[in-house]
């Protein structure tokens, strides 16, 4: 009984510390869309700022498999320290930039890479190695919910700081928050050790990557996650502009993004818990279908605050609830030893889509004066993502097991 109690304490200490760290990195990253119009009012074009945020979305995803590979060799703690320094440096230097190139380097590269070092791949990968298989789905849901808590807190906070003291002070405040990740990192990742002793998994990242890239289910997962990234980045980057175009109060943008984060806490925890009862691909398909339906209903509805908040609430339930089943599918297929790397690669696909979501949104607005065509594309891709998850097979890859056994 005492051992079970110790396991519960260990589970919650790992999960909650990881969730708190995730709250900071995700909350900061997903609040940057609120700076689009203030930066444009300071002399930067909307197209150039959209490109900066799009590059940031891509960089955040691109570094995750690299940081995952690095963490498997030197440990997750040094990676989190590096991330905290990069995140803080990028946010602190951005207000001092007077060119689009400087903004691209600070907000688009440094801060995005720093946030990536303290995000899904590292935290879920480290937790999976320290926890038994039965608790991993719930842990992923708790960590994911932490990101939503950060979104709920940092979006309204950033909006208030921008309105009161300006965008520069707001970025410096976020930079200070970035340093707090150092206090949470050691408790969150500890000295990650394999929790799956006795299982046979790929002996090297190269073997794991080779097996993954030959697996159709893994590739379908990538394709579906690409569309998810496009959807999320489009919304967090351009929802404030969409609200302004609808003639709604500017302050409602922060509230809407915060509401998305609040509702995603419930969505993440629910999906994390349901992962032990239902097939993970079924959960993913349902999430994408709900998202597509919500967009289509929003397009046909009158643009009022009630409509905006209802739309935000529904989207919040599906927002990042796709992460636990996606990570769970990767772990089912290939084990947890290289989960940070392989799940990091799916996040790279997610953020490649995010690049296009942030960039195309600004391009469509500049060319047409509205986001109408972008909304149609978004809904269509959500339906495509639902279809792409149907052929996924939730079974361990025998080639990986055989290869590992012969090593």
pLDDT value at position 226?
92
User: What is the model's pLDDT at position 211?
Assistant: 78
Using the 8-state DSSP alphabet, how is residue 97 labeled? -
CA 103 and chain centroid, separation: 22
For tokens 């489009």, the residue is 234
Candidates 177, 321, 312, 169; CA nearest to 253 is 312
- Which comes out higher in pLDDT, residue 218 or 257? 218
Helix (H, G, I), strand (E, B) or coil at 241: helix
pLDDT at residue 377 in the model: 93
pLDDT digits (tens, 9 = 90+) for 148-197: 788 778 888 998 999 999 999 999 999 999 988 887 887 777 654 444 43
pTM beyond 0.75, yes or no = no
Alpha-helical segments (H) within 214-279: 216-245, 252-274
2 contacts: CB under 8 Å, gap ≥ 6: none
User: Hey, where are the domains in the chain?
Assistant: 14-185+204-405
CA-to-CA dists, residue 12 to 22, 195, 323, 366, angstroms: 15, 16, 19, 47
Over range 341-360, report the average pLDDT.
Answer: 85
Alpha-carbon distances of 147 from 150, 193, 241, rounded to whole Å: 5, 24, 23
pLDDT tens digits, 113-147: 999 998 877 888 788 777 776 677 778 888 878 88
Most confident of 96-100, 121-125, 247-251: 96-100
Residue 204: the pLDDT is: 66
307-311: list long-range contacts, CB under 8 Å, 24+ apart.
308/243, 308/246, 308/248, 308/252, 308/256, 309/255, 309/256, 309/259
- Residue 96 DSSP one-character state: G
Asked if 194 and 337 touch (Cβ cutoff 8 Å), the reply is: yes
The confidence score (pLDDT) of residue 265 equals 84
41-61 as b/e, with b when 16 or more CB fall inside 10 Å? eeebebbbbbbbbbbbbbbbb
**For position 139, what pLDDT does the model report?**
80
- Return the higher-pLDDT residue of 224 and 201: 224
Name the architecture of domain 14-185+204-405: Up-down Bundle (1.20)
Task: Give the residue carrying structure tokens 């890239």.
Answer: 213
pLDDT for 267-295, tens place per residue? 888 887 787 788 889 999 999 999 999 99
Minimal CA–CA distance to 171: which of 154, 150, 183, 185?
154
State pLDDT tens for residues 155-168. Answer: 889 989 999 999 99
What integer pLDDT is reported at residue 164 of this predicted model?
92
* 15-63 per-position pLDDT tens digit: 888 888 999 998 898 888 888 888 888 888 888 888 888 888 788 888 8
Whether 1 has a pLDDT exceeding 60, the answer reads: no
Angle between helices 305-318 and 280-300 (to 10 degrees): 170
Cβ proximity of 261 and 82 under 8 Å: no
Using the predicted structure, report yes or no on whether residue 402 has a pLDDT greater than 60. no
372 C-beta neighbours (distance < 10 Å), count: 12
DSSP assignment of 295-346, as one string? Answer: HHHHHHS---HHHHHHHHHHHHHHTTTTHHHHHHHHHHHH-STTHHHHHHHH
């Amino acid at each position: 009984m005492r051992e079970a109690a110790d396991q519960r304490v260990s589970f919650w200490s790992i999960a909650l510390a990881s969730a708190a760290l995730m709250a900071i990195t995700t909350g900061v990253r997903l609040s940057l869309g609120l700076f689009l119009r203030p930066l444009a009012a300071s002399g930067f074009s909307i197209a150039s700022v959209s490109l900066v945020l799009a590059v940031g979305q891509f960089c955040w995803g691109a570094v995750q498999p690299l940081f995952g590979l690095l963490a498997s060799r030197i440990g997750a703690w040094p990676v989190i320290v590096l991330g905290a320094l990069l995140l803080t440096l990028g946010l602190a230097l951005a207000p001092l930039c007077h060119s689009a190139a400087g903004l691209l380097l600070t907000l688009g590269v440094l801060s995005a890479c720093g946030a990536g070092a303290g995000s899904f791949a590292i935290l879920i990968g480290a937790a999976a190695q320290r926890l038994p298989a039965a608790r991993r789905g719930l842990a992923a849901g708790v960590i994911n919910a932490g990101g939503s808590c950060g979104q709920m807190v940092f979006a309204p906070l950033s909006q208030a700081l921008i309105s009161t003291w300006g965008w520069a002070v707001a970025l410096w405040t976020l930079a200070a928050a970035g340093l707090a990740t150092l206090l949470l990192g050691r408790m969150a990742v500890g000295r990650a050790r394999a929790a799956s002793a006795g299982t046979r998994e790929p002996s090297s990242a190269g073997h794991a990557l080779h097996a993954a890239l030959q697996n159709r289910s893994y590739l379908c997962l990538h394709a579906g996650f690409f569309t998810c990234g496009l959807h999320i980045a489009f919304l967090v980057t351009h929802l404030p502009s969409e609200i302004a175009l609808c003639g709604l109060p500017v302050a409602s943008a922060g509230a809407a993004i915060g509401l998305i984060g609040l509702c995603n806490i419930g969505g993440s925890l629910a999906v994390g818990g349901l992962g032990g009862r239902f097939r993970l691909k079924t959960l993913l398909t349902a999430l994408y279908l709900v998202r597509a339906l919500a967009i289509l209903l929003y397009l046909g509805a009158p643009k009022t605050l009630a409509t905006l908040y209802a739309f935000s609430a529904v989207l919040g339930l599906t927002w990042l609830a796709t992460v636990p089943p996606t990570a769970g599918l990767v772990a089912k297929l290939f084990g947890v030893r290289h989960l940070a790397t392989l799940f990091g690669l799916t996040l790279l696909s997610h953020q490649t889509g995010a690049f296009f979501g942030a960039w195309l949104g600004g391009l469509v607005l500049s060319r047409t004066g509205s986001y109408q065509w972008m909304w149609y594309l978004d809904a269509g891709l959500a339906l495509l993502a639902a279809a792409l998850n149907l052929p996924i097979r939730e079974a361990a890859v025998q080639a990986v097991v055989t290869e590992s056994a012969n090593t």
